[in-house]
Structure 1
């Protein structure tokens, strides 16, 4: 009897902290500078789009730029596993990471504008460490890992120096990658069940890839298509998220 009472007493603190919660929020993220380049610059069957030579600016042939900024929405389901640790499954959708940049092909006068539409859907397991209570605020750190599905539209290269409609369009693609994130933020309890979270986070979403396939080349002399090998660009974002957490 005494043993049962002792075990029950030990279990009470654990039960008090073993809460389950849902979290919903939004974020604003900005991508780091990046660029499309060949997956294999020496590929020949089909040939690489850029190749291994230097470009007009002296750098490796590529299309340098960025995926801009996007709003993001997220939904999480988590559980407090100790008084200071939370484990969460987090799904985030980033709808408008559209690429804009410049290529550096040689013997190509004028601007070489590059554009594409892109979106990313990620799912991660995240562990949060709550660092204590400071007034009403509760700072925390988070670290997560999982996968991201990055989908890019056809990529368009515009060459106005070669003609008003001169362009090359390569096929888009979808790629599922390992992804990870790190976060730091603060929580503000509103009630016994409702908490507001604000965090800054760094997210590595792997890479964005175009598929091997026909590049459609439009010039003043006409239109033709040639098969080209895949290209890729790294995708990293940083930003601020705000969310509400409801315990039940």
Structure 2
């Protein structure tokens, strides 16, 4: 009897302890580790690619002077030059193809046709009217046009609110064509066939572009071009004057045009950032 009561008491105590421990296990919430915040990886900006361009300009040409020879029956022959000379302003139009290497550096090849710029000048010499060896002054007129071909390199300084200032330089050549030179003095009118040919040329430029769309830019700037000297006009058998060689032409241009970017332009919005999927969370 005593043993049975003792066994029942021990069983009751064991059940109470085990039940409390089991209840405590059920009441305690599971421990869950928080997942780390997702990391966004932005894709690198892939600027660059081919582009085409078209430009128009209004330019002022500065004439560097010219020399010529007046032949007489007996030496020495007389060297002469223009006492006054000037060139009128004119328009030009051009096109080109280029490559945007990165966000700050690009190159292109351009060709511009400079429409006729009128020349006015005067020379001093001797006429046979009203008497031989009478001092006289002649008036001269002509015009020049040119095809300017340049290989250019630019530095795009940076882009702010769609505006990108730049500086650049170019080197190449110009095919210059002078029209017939009309010389008029007291002895009458004389005509010299104009010279033509290729010459060395270079250019310096500065300006800014503006994003019109994600691929089209408006380009406005200034360009200084220098064209080396060359033949201006041929020898005339009637006046015994010529040939004449100009000392070169300096051209100051105000330019405007459009550039179309085939590759990704800095005008395009940045790509969406890449956000990796969060890793699944496992609990025991």
Does TM-score exceed 0.5, indicating one fold? Answer: yes
Instruction: Provide the aligned C-alpha RMSD in A.
Output: 2.7
- How far off is 1:209 after superposition? 1.5
Q: 1:206 to 1:43 in 2, by over 3 A?
A: farther
Does structure 2 retain, via aligned residues, the 8 Å contact 1:170–1:216?
Answer: no
Does structure 1 retain, via aligned residues, the 8 Å contact 2:180–2:233?
Answer: no
Tell me the secondary structure at the aligned position of residue 117 of structure 2.
coil
Does structure 1 retain, via aligned residues, the 8 Å contact 2:98–2:109?
Answer: yes
- How far off is 1:48 after superposition? 10
| Counterpart in the other structure of 1:133 | 159
- How far off is 1:63 after superposition? 4.8
| Counterpart in the other structure of 1:187 | 209
Tell me the secondary structure at the aligned position of residue 65 of structure 2.
strand
Tell me the secondary structure at the aligned position of residue 200 of structure 2.
strand
In the alignment, the residues of structure 2 paired with residue 137 and residue 197 of structure 1 have an alpha-carbon distance, to the nearest angstrom, of 10
Query: Which among 37, 44, 51 is matched to residue 79 of structure 2?
Result: 51
Does structure 1 retain, via aligned residues, the 8 Å contact 2:70–2:241?
Answer: no
- Following superposition of structure 1 onto structure 2, how do residues 56-135 of structure 1 map, counting pairs within 5 Å? 61-105=81-125, 107-109=134-136, 111-135=137-161
In the alignment, the residues of structure 2 paired with residue 190 and residue 213 of structure 1 have an alpha-carbon distance, to the nearest angstrom, of 53
Is residue 236 from structure 1 mapped to residue 250 from structure 2 by the alignment? yes
| Counterpart in the other structure of 1:246 | 260
Unaligned runs of 5+ in 2: 1-40, 127-133, 263-284
In the alignment, the residues of structure 1 paired with residue 248 and residue 85 of structure 2 have an alpha-carbon distance, to the nearest angstrom, of 11
TM-score by length of 1: 0.76
Tell me the secondary structure at the aligned position of residue 79 of structure 2.
coil
Higher mean C-alpha displacement, 168-177 vs 203-212: 203-212
| Counterpart in the other structure of 1:169 | 191
Q: What is the aligned length? A: 212
In the alignment, the residues of structure 1 paired with residue 222 and residue 100 of structure 2 have an alpha-carbon distance, to the nearest angstrom, of 21
Does structure 2 retain, via aligned residues, the 8 Å contact 1:171–1:215?
Answer: no
| Counterpart in the other structure of 1:18 | 48
Is residue 209 from structure 1 mapped to residue 231 from structure 2 by the alignment? yes
- How far off is 1:92 after superposition? 0.4
Unaligned runs of 5+ in 1: 1-8, 53-60, 218-225
- How far off is 1:13 after superposition? 4.6
Q: Deviations over 1:138-163 (max 9, x none)?
A: 1000100000000012211111xx16
- Structure whose residues are more often strand by fraction: 1
